[in-house]
Structure 1
């Protein structure tokens, strides 16, 4: 049967979480035969491989399994994309889940696009930070930034607030678009979801935004990649990802749609600012030097991108000179994180 969508679930030692994730997709889709779930066992050392095989044995027409040597999140994501038979592809991390009612709505819309022979390159929906241990839910929507209930192009988008960046959790691409983008995802590296949410965008010509709270993003696990202490320990990977994004495009010449170029510049500036602020949060001086090198590389690579990133509010605010300025930059970051509730 033709598959309308493939859900890729990268799993590494995910035995404790994966059942909830998989069940949410099966039940939310009402066990539909036109969906596909691809569980990618990324060299797990726990019961993940056996659990994955059990799921595939129970639902052989819906679930398939890929076993591979450990390559990291990006390599697992690409393995799922390589196997995908659906028109669309959505990544769901193994400790996250999808809302049943929202998933049902999404599937109805995607089926409608195909029935009407309407090409939509990118389907966008809301996501929810599930701060389980705090008992809080923070919804990220795109009200004001994106048109609703219509297929649109980049010239119709509006202004994105700092908390409204299009992240992996909100995106569902056409498979052919993702494959055409030739995603440069490095092995054994966290934060590849930023590349996933950035590099394919110029390949997308038509979009649809559904105002539904689909993706539930679990926040609070100790050692989680977005935990501040973890991000400081993995600063090398943050710099690696930011450099890949920098070298992906000369935004003002390569990206033809001005509003898309402006949005991508904002996203990239945020990545540069993350490197700047976390190099200050680190107690290791080497990261401050690395941050200087990164900004110098950007200036040499594309002076216009450098000016937009360095001379804007974020660039200035996260790179204030002197020890006092460093403390002020950190204070501004703390205030922004409370206002915009980002992680």
Structure 2
């Protein structure tokens, strides 16, 4: 039995996928590495097959037609045999010492038959071009190295959202919630860390910098110009999150609050990008998105609208636009993206 399945979605990743794969080869067969070749046109498939041939008990190369990042994650989940499941993007990598610590914890949970639905570890923004790293940790909000529930959660700051980089799910949790990410759509990682949360009952935080998130490629999906160009996909993801969340179905007040806060962030990002595009079409899309939320769940709309950013987003005129865009610029500095 594999302890951890790690899916690596690859599309034309031949130039950098080695680093991601090698960071997982720590001499343990507890890890299952699923290289999902998403219809690449370069040598990705050849590299994946070579790794599978070299490490047949650890690595599996899976080849599929192009369906986008989310579809590659779906495929990885379909083939996963590990008790736990994580995604590693092909241009990122894991810190080996941190991975050994995480595996030790997961093995312990399995060996003691302890029910653990989600493990959280730190992640690091790696701005390689300028030699700068920014670590995001949860030590002020989560108990360390013990099982806890949503009721034990402290205050999660804006910089401490639970992201795909930081989370490892029990595989069965993802299957129970029937997670299926949309094809040919960017930003689906937000669905990945949102929809399963009501199915998560137990958590464990390890204060190690496991995931190294590479920042700096011009074609990266978090590049602001690219995000504006893909705004319809951002809106699509936000609407899927709206559809999957009914606060009345969530028992824990803290989980309800966190999911509402996360959705507020998504609404804010979409709105900011639409304002920055500043066309008649983009402004119409902003109004339509907020109307969609109001129509789907009026109470949720009211809750989101109570949040500070939600209130600012609804401000009319040039003053509101300036406040929103200034806030977005500050957020970029805090989070270290773009």
Q: TM-score range, shorter-chain basis?
A: over 0.9
Task: Write out aligned runs for 1:142-181 (5 A).
Answer: 142-181=138-177
Distance 2:42 2:279 in 1: 34
The DSSP-based 3-state class of the residue aligned with 1:138 is strand
Matched, 1:86 2:79: no
Cα 1:339/1:51, change in 2 over 3 Å: closer
Matched, 1:276 2:271: yes
Distance 2:163 2:246 in 1: 21
Distance 2:280 2:114 in 1: 53
The answer for the alignment partner of 1:4 in structure 2 is 3
* Structure 2 counterpart of 1:191, from 176, 181, 187: 187
Say whether the 8 Å CA contact 2:118–2:167 is kept in structure 1. Answer: yes
The answer for the alignment partner of 1:21 in structure 2 is 20
The answer for the alignment partner of 2:100 in structure 1 is 104
Q: CA deviation at 1:340?
A: 4.4
Task: Write out aligned runs for 1:308-319 (5 A).
Answer: 308-319=303-314
Gaps of 5+ in 2: none
Show CA shifts across 1:94-123 (max 9, x none): 000000110010011111111111110101
The answer for the alignment partner of 1:302 in structure 2 is 297
Show CA shifts across 1:13-65 (max 9, x none): 00011101000110xxx221121000000000000001000000000000001
How many residues are treated as equivalent by the alignment?
338
The answer for the alignment partner of 1:258 in structure 2 is 253
Deviates more, 1:60-69 or 1:329-338: 329-338
* Structure 2 counterpart of 1:116, from 92, 109, 112: 112
Show CA shifts across 1:97-151 (max 9, x none): 0001100100111111111111101010000000111211011111221111100
Say whether the 8 Å CA contact 1:184–1:244 is kept in structure 2. Answer: no
Task: Write out aligned runs for 1:54-69 (5 A).
Answer: 54-69=50-65
Distance 1:302 1:319 in 2: 17
Q: CA deviation at 1:288?
A: 1.3
Say whether the 8 Å CA contact 2:92–2:214 is kept in structure 1. Answer: yes
Q: CA deviation at 1:332?
A: 2.0
Task: Write out aligned runs for 1:181-260 (5 A).
Answer: 181-251=177-247, 253-260=248-255
Distance 1:259 1:311 in 2: 16
* Structure 2 counterpart of 1:38, from 29, 34, 47: 34
Scaled by the length of structure 2, the TM-score of the pair is 0.98
Distance 2:180 2:245 in 1: 12
Q: CA deviation at 1:283?
A: 3.7
Distance 2:146 2:286 in 1: 42
Show CA shifts across 1:194-253 (max 9, x none): 0000000111111100001000000000110001111000000000000000000212x0
Say whether the 8 Å CA contact 1:163–1:341 is kept in structure 2. Answer: no
Q: CA deviation at 1:284?
A: 2.8
Q: CA deviation at 1:323?
A: 2.2
Distance 2:231 2:57 in 1: 42
Matched, 1:48 2:52: no
Distance 1:341 1:15 in 2: 27
The DSSP-based 3-state class of the residue aligned with 1:183 is coil
Distance 2:113 2:306 in 1: 45
Q: Where does structure 1 differ by over 6 angstroms across 4 or more consecutive aligned residues?
A: none
CA RMSD of aligned residues (A): 1.1
